[in-house]
Structures are given as C-alpha cells and as structure tokens.
Amino acid sequence: MDEEKYFSLLRQSNELKKNTFKTTHYVSESGFLSTKHNYERLDPETYHMLLHFSITIENNFHFSERQEYIDIAKDFLADQITADDFSSAFMGIYEGINGKVAQMEEDESLELANF
C-alpha cells in the first residue's frame, strides 16, 4: 500500500471514530428510557489493511527506539536497577511510544510515513 492510500484509510478511520458512537435515547414499548447505539465500521478488508500498516508503523517505531530498551536491560543485568525499576522503565518507554503513535495517527501526522 502506498503512503497516499494509508493516509486515506487513516482519515476514514478517524472520521468513523468521531462519528461511530452515536447515541439515541428513546422510550421503549415497555415505557422505559432506552438507548440505541449506531455503530459504523470500516469494511473488514479495509480494516485489516489499516490494522496491518498501523501495527507495522508501531513496530518500526519501537525498533527505532531499541537503544532505550537495550540500555535499561543492560542496567538491569548489571544490577544497577531493580526488577521493578526495569519493569516501570520498560512500560514507560512502551506506553510512551504507543501514545505518541496514537496521537500521530489522530493528527494524521506525515511523520508516520517515516516508519
């Protein structure tokens, strides 16, 4: 898939995220206030293409930050940090990258094309 197609799918996905969860309140036949949700979805083939490329981008982003992962592993193996510190540092790096990628996808950042 080329860059243009990826960003087109990303734009479509972002629009669906904004408009997917529409809630309608109504009184049911039994007289209770009920809620109806309108879920719109990407077709399965489009969803899988976008998911595949999003995972590839995220994996490449983690790979680009591999030195941070290596450094904390070295510190742990050299008994410079505890297992809890290692876990916290590892998850901090991991979640930070995932958060950054998610924000870049939401913003449709052209920097995503680098990954």
Give the structural domain span for 42: 3-114
How many folded domains does the chain comprise?
1
Q: Give the model's confidence band at 105: pLDDT under 50 very low, under 70 low, under 90 confident, else very high.
A: confident
Find, among 60, 70, 49, the residue nearest to 6 by Cα: 49
Question: Tokens 């960003």 identify what position?
Answer: 7
Structure confidence at residue 102 (pLDDT): 80
Kindly state the percentage of the chain with pLDDT values over 70: 70
Kindly state the percentage of the chain with pLDDT values over 90: 29
Structure confidence at residue 101 (pLDDT): 82
Q: Give the model's confidence band at 20: pLDDT under 50 very low, under 70 low, under 90 confident, else very high.
A: low
> Whole-angstrom Cα distance, residue 115 to residue 7?
13
Q: Give the model's confidence band at 39: pLDDT under 50 very low, under 70 low, under 90 confident, else very high.
A: very low
The string of pLDDT tens digits covering residues 50-95 is: 777 778 888 888 999 999 999 999 999 999 999 999 999 999 999 9
Beta-bridged to residue 26, according to DSSP, are: 34
